[in-house]
Amino acid sequence: MDSRGPHLGTREGHLTFDDIDLAALAGRLQTPFFVFSGGRIAENVATLRDAFQSRHPNTEVFFASKACSALWVLEQVKKAGINVEVNSGGELWKALRAGFTGRQIVFNGVAKTRAEIEQAVTAGIRAIVVDSLCELERVNEVSVALGREADVALRIDVRVQTETHPGMRTAHGGKFGVDLIDVAELFDQACRLDGLWVRGLHLHIGSQITSVEPYARAVEKALDLVEQVEAACGRPLEFLDIGGGYPVPYVDTADAYDATDYFCAITTPHDYAEAICALVNDRRPDLALFIEPGRYVVSDAAVVVAHVEAEKTKRLLDASDHPVGEEHWLLLDTGYNTIIEHTLAEWHFRAIVANRADEPADASFRLGGPLCDSGDVYVGDLGTPYRRLSARTGVGDVIVFRDVGAYSLDTMTQYNGRPRAGAYAVEDGRLVIIRRPETYEDLVSHDVWPAEPV
Ligand SMILES: Cc1ncc(COP(=O)(O)O)c(C=O)c1O
C-alpha cells in the first residue's frame, strides 16, 4: 500500500489505482469517469465484519445502499457476505435485482408510500423500519390488506448530539425517528396491531461520526428502550439496529489531525465495535446487533478521474478594486454534477495530479468545475481556498479525486447539459465497465417532444 492511501500507488511518475495507470486511462476514456476497486470493497467489509463479529458473533452487516447502489457494487457487497439496507422502493427493487433475498434487506425512510410498503411486505423483507406513529398505522393497514404479517423495527430519535457535518446529524431533533417523548405510545400501539410484529429497535445517529462516545450514549439509551418495548409487548426483541456512520479520513491525518474536524478520522471499526459490543454483551448478549455502514464500505474504493480544460490567473481585489494579490485557477471538466458533495456539503476530497504524481506539491491553485454556478468551486486544503499541487500543473493534466465512492455516483446530475459520467472497476485484476457514460441522446431521453396530451 502506498502512503497515499489504500490501493493508490505510483509507477513511472503516474498515479495507479489497483495497479491501473490512471493518467494513461484518461488518455483513452472519456473523462470524467469513476474507477472502483472490488478488492477495496471486500477489504472494508472484512474489516467491519471482523471488528464486530469477533466481539459479538451475532452481528449482521447491512450495506447502506444509498451510499452507492450500482448493481456491480451491490454484487460486490453480496459476494463479501453482507446484507443490504434500502431507503426507497427503487433501492429495494435494485437490491432484489442484484440477488439479495427479502430476508437480507431492511428498509428505512421517513415517508414510505403505500406502494413501497406493499412491495416490502410482499418481498418478505427482514424489517420495515417504522419512522413515525402514522407510518405504523399505514404498515398495519397494508399488511392486513395483503393478509401477510410485516416484520418491523421502530426507529427512535435517541437524542444524542454528534460533532459531524450539520447536514449529517440525525438523532437530536430533525425529521428522523419517533420522538423519545412518544415512545410509550408507539410501543403500546405497535404491540396491539395485528398486521405487524416488532422484531427490533433502530437508531442512526448520523454520518461520518468521528468519535466513539456518541455511539456509546446512543446504545445505552436504546438498551433501556429495549426493556421498555419488551415489557409493553410481553415478548423479547430479536435485534438492535444501530445504523451506520463509521467514518473515513478525507485529509492526511498525520499532519492535520484535529479532533474537532470531521474530515479527520483516526478511529477504526475496532474502536467502535469495542465500545458498542461491550455494552450489548453486558446487558443483552442474546440480542442480534445490526449495523448499516455505507460510507466506510465504498468511500475509499473509488476515485473520479478528470482533465484540466483551462487555466487562468485572476487578481484578488480589495473593496476599491485595487489588486492585492493573484490566484491561479485550474478549471476542470467535472464539478458538482459528478461529485455533488463538494459543493452541497463543502466536502473535502483530496486531489492528485495523476500524470505528475512524483512532482512536489509546490504551488497553490484554486480548482473550479465547469458549471455555470459560482458555487462550483472545490474547497481548499486546511482552511484555505487553495490546493497544493505541482507548479507545472496545467491544461491537459489529469486530476484524480480520492475517496468519492460514497454518495457520488447516485447523486450525479445532468445540470448544464452534461451527460452523467461512466464508471469502471478493477475486478480480479481486470478493468471492467460497470456503468456506461451517458451521451447527448441521454440528455433528452425522457423529454416528451413534441408534447402529448394526457
Ligand atoms: C438509516 C441510515 N442507515 C445508514 C446510513 C449510512 O450512513 P454511513 O454512510 O455514514 O455509514 C444512513 C446514512 O446517513 C442512514 O440514514
Which residue, among 119, 105, 110, has the nearest Cα to 61 in the 3D structure?
A: 105
Question: 69, 155, 248, 295: which to mutate for ligand 1, most atoms within 8 A of CB?
Answer: 295
Question: How far apart are alpha carbons 18 and 429 in whole angstroms?
Answer: 8
Q: Is the domain of 265 the same as that of 315?
A: no
Name the residue with the closest Cα to ligand 1, atom 5: 244
Q: Which atom of ligand 1 is nearest to the CA of 206?
A: 14
Residues tagged active-site: 372
pLDDT per residue as tens digits for the range 66-89: 999 999 999 999 999 999 999 999
* Total of domains in the chain: 2
Q: What's the number of CA atoms in the CB half-sphere (13 Å) around residue 111?
A: 1
Domain boundary among the residues 298, 329, 364 is at 298
453 occurs within a structural domain: no
Q: Is the domain of 285 the same as that of 308?
A: no
- 102 is written with which cell numbers? 427479502
Q: Is the domain of 371 the same as that of 423?
A: yes
Q: Is the domain of 45 the same as that of 21?
A: no
- List of E strands, 92-188: 105-107, 127-130, 150-157, 178-179
Q: What's the number of CA atoms in the CB half-sphere (13 Å) around residue 67?
A: 30
Check residue 6 and give its pLDDT: 67
pTM of the model: 0.96
Q: Which atom of ligand 1 is nearest to the CA of 246?
A: 11
Containing domain of residue 168, as a range?
Answer: 38-298
**Domain with 332 in it: what CATH number?**
2.40.37.10
Name the residue with the closest Cα to ligand 1, atom 14: 207
Q: Is the domain of 254 the same as that of 115?
A: yes
452 occurs within a structural domain: no
Task: Identify the residues whose C-beta falls under 6 Å from ligand 1.
Answer: 64, 67, 85, 108, 204, 207-208, 243-246, 292-296, 406
139 CB neighbour count, 10 Å cutoff: 22
**Residues of the chain below pLDDT 50:** 1-3
Check residue 2 and give its pLDDT: 41
187 CB neighbour count, 10 Å cutoff: 22
Q: Is the domain of 357 the same as that of 278?
A: no
Q: Is the domain of 267 the same as that of 336?
A: no
Domain boundary among the residues 279, 298, 317 is at 298
- With contact defined as beta carbons under 8 Å apart, do 407 and 207 qualify? no
**Domain with 253 in it: what CATH number?**
3.20.20.10
3 occurs within a structural domain: no
Residue 384 contacts by C-beta under 8 Å, 6 or more apart in sequence? 364
Check residue 261 and give its pLDDT: 85
Name the residue with the closest Cα to ligand 1, atom 12: 244
Q: Is the domain of 44 the same as that of 31?
A: no
Question: 204, 291, 407: which to mutate for ligand 1, most atoms within 8 A of CB?
Answer: 204
Q: Is the domain of 193 the same as that of 331?
A: no
CA dihedral 128, 241, 84, 182 (to 10 degrees): 30
Quickly list DSSP for 46-97. Answer: HHHHHHHHTT-SSEEEEEEGGG---HHHHHHHHHTT-EEEESSHHHHHHHHH
Q: What angle do CA 331, 378, 351 make, to 5 degrees?
A: 85
Domain boundary among the residues 298, 315, 348 is at 298
Q: Is the domain of 364 the same as that of 249?
A: no
Q: Is the domain of 119 the same as that of 246?
A: yes
Q: Which atom of ligand 1 is nearest to the CA of 108?
A: 1
Q: Which atom of ligand 1 is nearest to the CA of 295?
A: 9
Q: Is the domain of 271 the same as that of 304?
A: no
